[in-house]
Amino acid sequence: MKFTVEDILFGVSVLLFLSILVSKSLGRLGVPALVLFLGVGILAGSEGVGGIYFDDSQTAQSLGTLALTLILFSGGMDTRWQSTKPVLWRGITLSTLGVFITAMLVGIFATYVLNFSLLEGLLLGAIVSSTDAAAVFSILRARNIGLKNNLRPTLELESGSNDPMAYFLTISFTFLLTNPEASLWQLLPMFFLQMSIGAVMGVIMGYVMAWTINKIKLEQEGLYPALTLAMVLFTFAFTNLISGNGFLAVYTAAVILGNKNFIHKRSLTRFYDGIAWLMQILMFLTLGLLVFPSQILPVLGVGLMISLFLIFVARPVSVFISMFFFKSTLQDKVYVSWVGLRGAVPIVFATYPMLAGVERSGMMFNIVFFIVLTSVMLQGTTLKVVADWLGLSEVDDSPRRLQLGEELGYNSRNELVELQLPAHGASIGKSLVNLQLPKTSLIVLIDRGGKFVTPNGATMLEPHDKLMVMVDSEEELQRVKAILLG
């Protein structure tokens, strides 16, 4: 049966709409969005009510690679160096050593349980070794949950930087299985070469992107997203072309760009946030279509065993070893272990051995899908409960900030910060002139129950007022918060 362009566009639009609608309805119950998107894809597939037959692994892999590239870029753009710097080496250790240990442990266990060869088992372990925190933070942010001890930037850094390691391991074991004469030692130089080239290209392209955006002076603002998209795709493709790791290059470039001032920064950040969500939905829908539930049923037993081993043994062991070198509490290690969600990335990686013709790759794909589904359903729905149980959750009351000048591309220390007054406090009922705020700070606007008030010295503060305050340093912000919120 042939489909016209109109048929494809109609089907895509309906699936997108249903995915967003289902996500909005069931997301309130704590069900991670990616599970809902996968569910819609499965229901629309050949064994679901939609009856859409799709078994094109090449298309799924291509779409997944593009989606992962843009998702990593969006995540890198949102990574704040100020909060990441204190946990830099802890996050990198988790994303490299932690991924390697997880892959080895799961691989050895799978070899025993599935009667796989050691390389086949290690390939399966490599595929499921990286984490996907996209669902984690959608739940945490939706419920306004913060995490103590810098756990949030640690998990964000790990999830954004561990895909390159998992990708390298997956490609390496696939290569060894399809080339029996090859040696494992041949891959070590390739690993350091890929990571080095990827990191260097990422740094170079990060600075090139910032310089280009500020200097090119396009007449139409709408061309800037197209310009940056071209540079992102070039970074990934060219890095791979010169034997580097494109995922690492894209993420590194995004982190550097996101921590610099450039014109239209807010609009570009929002654009890529929307693109990342669109890519995530499309990727999950496509992978859901690719899955045949009847083929998963025979591997339920072994899939459950491997999934439980991954969740309760492999992930905790890798986290405890990786975090041994850093100052962390037992509660920190337990929670990081629990937030080892597997998302759509392992399912994308599972298509590589299928396209390479690896024996039992179909069985691996079905096991990987079940592992991902089990991990997200078990861990993704209990993040808040575990954080509360471990005493690590706190209300995320960090103020919203706007860096003045970022849209114009010049450096400015001044920030507009939104602060909401409590119901009771020392500043309630006082006029602004009597607050004795620092001389360099200024309350520029008050949101009072949805109505905006232009403040002056005689303006009296009321409970739950939202204040837009201009400050020029972090120290000044802390003094302002002590006066207004104390």
- Amino acid code (one letter) for 463: P
Residue 327 corresponds to which tokens in the numbers above? 């100052």
Convert the pLDDT of each residue in 218-273 to its tens digit: 888 889 999 999 999 999 999 999 999 999 999 999 999 998 888 888 889 889 98
List the one residue out of 35, 67, 132, 57 whose CA is nearest residue 343.
132
Question: Same domain, yes or no, for 276 and 312?
Answer: yes
Structure confidence at residue 111 (pLDDT):
95
Question: Same domain, yes or no, for 25 and 167?
Answer: yes
Beta-bridge partner residues of 401: 417
Question: Same domain, yes or no, for 19 and 113?
Answer: yes
Question: Same domain, yes or no, for 335 and 473?
Answer: no
Question: Same domain, yes or no, for 319 and 234?
Answer: yes
Where does a domain end: 395, 416, 438? 395
Question: Same domain, yes or no, for 127 and 184?
Answer: yes
pLDDT in 10s for each residue of the chain, 486 residues? 566 778 778 877 887 787 777 666 655 555 566 677 777 888 887 777 777 777 778 888 888 889 889 988 988 888 888 778 888 999 999 999 999 999 999 999 999 999 899 999 999 999 999 887 565 555 555 555 567 888 888 888 888 888 899 999 999 999 999 988 877 777 888 889 999 999 999 999 999 999 999 888 888 888 999 999 999 999 999 999 999 999 999 999 999 999 888 888 888 988 998 888 888 788 878 878 888 888 888 888 898 999 999 999 999 999 999 999 888 899 999 999 998 888 778 888 989 998 888 888 889 998 998 888 888 788 877 887 888 899 887 655 556 666 555 555 555 557 778 888 888 888 888 888 888 888 878 888 888 888 888 888 888 898 888 888 888 777 888 888 888 886
Question: Same domain, yes or no, for 431 and 316?
Answer: no
Where does a domain end: 365, 395, 425? 395
In the chain, how long is the greatest CA-to-CA distance? 83
Total number of domains constituting the chain: 2
pTM of the model: 0.81
Question: Same domain, yes or no, for 470 and 365?
Answer: no
At 309, which CATH number? Answer: 1.20.1530.20
Question: Same domain, yes or no, for 292 and 377?
Answer: yes
Tell me, letter by letter, the H, E, C secondary structure of 278-337.
HHHHHHHHHHHHHCCHHHHHHHHHHHHHHHHHHHHHHHHHHHHHHHHHCCCCHHHHHHHH
Where does a domain end: 372, 395, 418? 395
List the one residue out of 71, 141, 158 whose CA is nearest residue 340.
158
Cα distance between residue 363 and residue 303, in whole Å: 10
Q: Which domain holds residue 454?
A: 401-485
Question: Same domain, yes or no, for 383 and 428?
Answer: no
At 466, which CATH number? Answer: 3.30.70.1450
Question: Same domain, yes or no, for 139 and 156?
Answer: yes
Question: Same domain, yes or no, for 430 and 367?
Answer: no
